[in-house]
Amino acid sequence: MVQKYQLEDKVLLAVDCIIFGFDEEDLKILLIKRNFEPEKGKWSLMGGFLKRHENLNIAANRILYQLTGIEQIYMEQLYAFSEVDRDPAERTISVAYFALINIKEHDKALIDKYSAKWFSVTELPELIFDHSEMITKAIKRLRYKTSKKPIGFELLPEKFTMRQLQKLYESILGEKLDKRNFINKINALDILIKLEEKDMNSSRKGSFLYQFDAEKYQQKVEEGFSFKL
Amino acid sequence: MVQKYQLEDKVLLAVDCIIFGFDEEDLKILLIKRNFEPEKGKWSLMGGFLKRHENLNIAANRILYQLTGIEQIYMEQLYAFSEVDRDPAERTISVAYFALINIKEHDKALIDKYSAKWFSVTELPELIFDHSEMITKAIKRLRYKTSKKPIGFELLPEKFTMRQLQKLYESILGEKLDKRNFINKINALDILIKLEEKDMNSSRKGSFLYQFDAEKYQQKVEEGFSFKL
DNA sequence: CTCCTTAAGTGTTAATTATACATTTCCAAA
DNA sequence: TTTGGAAATGTATAATTAACACTTAAGGAG
């Protein structure tokens, strides 16, 4: 490739990943203890640098895979953070990505191996650089997206109860919802399959399990529906 | 500054600006004839490279100023475009920004000087690289923002008629709106000042002019209201 | 000076959607 | 068999949104 813009400044381009998970109680974020300088030993988002042959989406997925063993998940670009001194070591622009995963489906061993740890969004530790700001922005975006598309399903196990789904929405939105209204709305969407099966952990009576009906959902998206909670 | 990440690839970071304007009829975008290779002579968004001492917001404003003489306007980061071959000359990641301006308020002479030209969003020419994609994304974002905040006022002259405001919304949203419902909603927001003055160009009867009441708007924002059209 | 033209201005009703709210059912364990 | 605890369920009211058509004002033409 011919170099045409030789007089221009080049910069390091980092990618930082905000990984949301849900454990039936709280919305959580996956963080790691940074194992290189500067700020070695402090908590950080999963980050790495863009390589010559990658676009940002690919870099985000590679970095996540390298640091946690998690692969092939839905990731979305959030924002480019570019304050001149955001990384004291060297001028670095960071593009933040965020992803949603089901905590239980991802191999705990691999996560432990890299000293990754889940933190509730309400109890985050101090983070390096501008990572707190990134998280704040990601939560805001997640709330918005949740109100437009039923995005939360990535965060739940394949089979889940209405109670779990409601808890998930409550922890994303940060507010309590009315049970009956919630169920009515979800049912009105008509994108869940009610199973015969019951989850017997939560109560004696047991509660019915549901599955997300990807096919019906796809169909509705094509018809141009907009999810509103 | 110590260089700590010496083994990492560096890249060129460009900024491209999508400038929306409105001329009482159509939503328009400001484009320039690119005056350097590659693709010299083709239509392009306003673009330039991030410099060492700037963050992206500052770079976006500088670039816009250099290319059009327009300064101190509201700009917002849109998205980072990073396909490996998006610029055939050299690997370049581009962060797109968008802005809203009032066409008439900005000095035509300066714009002409740089061969900038306004194009209706419905009649865009062929553009270099991935600039069309950037514009598509910007329009989508503009539509969204318009439905949340009364952002459109930047696009109108200081004094405007209800008809103009409605036309603006229609061209942003790409659909016709009902006149009475539109006026009712706008009035319900209570952020316009109705002037005594009339605009006599559009009809024999003349139509009242309005002004955006920035103070009332600010107050409402603080009270946490959300604009919904 | 009367009539015509043209866009401005104006409210009501029906339909839909959102909210608030309390009781009964089921099942396992004691 | 009784009991405790969460699951399941529906309705009435309020709020919002959508649909809809006639009158008014004023300049220009005849």
Copy the structure tokens of residue A169: 């929405």
Asked if pLDDT for residue B161 goes beyond 90, the answer is: yes
Give residue B115's pLDDT band: very low, low, confident or very high (50, 70, 90): confident
Q: How large is the average pLDDT for residues B7-12?
A: 93
Residue A207 sits in the same domain as residue A165: yes
φ, ψ (nearest 5 deg) of residue A173: -80, -15
Q: Does B109 touch chain A (CB under 8 A)?
A: no
Instruction: Give the tens place of pLDDT for each residue, B52-75.
Output: 999 999 999 999 999 888 888 889
Q: Does B89 touch chain A (CB under 8 A)?
A: yes
What domain range is A207 assigned to? 153-222
Which is more confidently placed, B160 or A151?
B160
Residue A137 belongs to some domain of the structure: yes
- Give the span between the Cα atoms of B184 and A83, in whole angstroms: 43
Instruction: Give the tens place of pLDDT for each residue, A128-150.
Output: 999 999 999 999 999 988 877 78
Give residue B218's pLDDT band: very low, low, confident or very high (50, 70, 90): confident
Short-list A227, A191, A189, A226, CA closest to A210: A191
Residue A118 sits in the same domain as residue A174: no
Q: Round the average pLDDT of chain A to a whole number and report it.
A: 91
Residue A1 belongs to some domain of the structure: no
- Give the span between the Cα atoms of B21 and A148, in whole angstroms: 28
Q: Which residues of A touch B90 (CB under 8 A)?
A: 1-5
Which is more confidently placed, B146 or B21?
B21
Residue A84 sits in the same domain as residue A176: no
Residue B29 sits in the same domain as residue B136: yes
User: Following DSSP, what letter does each residue of A143-172 receive, concatenated?
Assistant: HHHHHHS-GGGGGS-SEEEHHHHHHHHHHH
Residue B119 sits in the same domain as residue B19: yes
Residue B49 sits in the same domain as residue B115: yes
CATH assignment of the domain containing B108: 3.90.79.10
CATH assignment of the domain containing B187: 1.10.10.10
From A110, A129, A146, the end of a domain falls on A146
Residue A57 sits in the same domain as residue A41: yes
- Give the span between the Cα atoms of A131 and A192, in whole angstroms: 36
Asked if pLDDT for residue A3 goes beyond 70, the answer is: no
Residue B6 belongs to some domain of the structure: no
| Chain A nearest C-alpha distance from B198 (Å) | 41
Residue B174 sits in the same domain as residue B66: no
Q: Does B82 touch chain A (CB under 8 A)?
A: yes
Residue A209 belongs to some domain of the structure: yes
Percentage of residues of chain B with pLDDT beyond 90: 68
Instruction: Give the tens place of pLDDT for each residue, A28-55.
Output: 999 998 877 788 889 999 999 999 999 9
Asked if pLDDT for residue B40 goes beyond 90, the answer is: no
From B121, B146, B171, the end of a domain falls on B146
Q: How large is the average pLDDT for residues A164-182?
A: 95
pLDDT for position A1: 45
| Chain A nearest C-alpha distance from B44 (Å) | 17
Which position has the token pair 């599955």?
Answer: A211
Which is more confidently placed, A27 or B4?
A27
| Nearest nucleotide from residue A198 CA, by C1' atom | D7
Q: Which residue is nearest to nucleotide D10 (CA to C1')?
A: A180
Residue A120 sits in the same domain as residue A157: no
Structural domain count of chain A: 2
Give residue B229's pLDDT band: very low, low, confident or very high (50, 70, 90): low
Residue A208 sits in the same domain as residue A170: yes
Q: Which residue is nearest to nucleotide D21 (CA to C1')?
A: B180
Q: Does the C-beta of B180 come within 7 A of strand D?
A: yes
- pTM confidence score: 0.92
Q: Does B90 touch chain A (CB under 8 A)?
A: yes
Residue A106 sits in the same domain as residue A177: no
Q: Which of residues 22-41 of A touch B (CB under 8 A)?
A: 37-38
From B85, B111, B146, the end of a domain falls on B146
Residue A159 sits in the same domain as residue A141: no
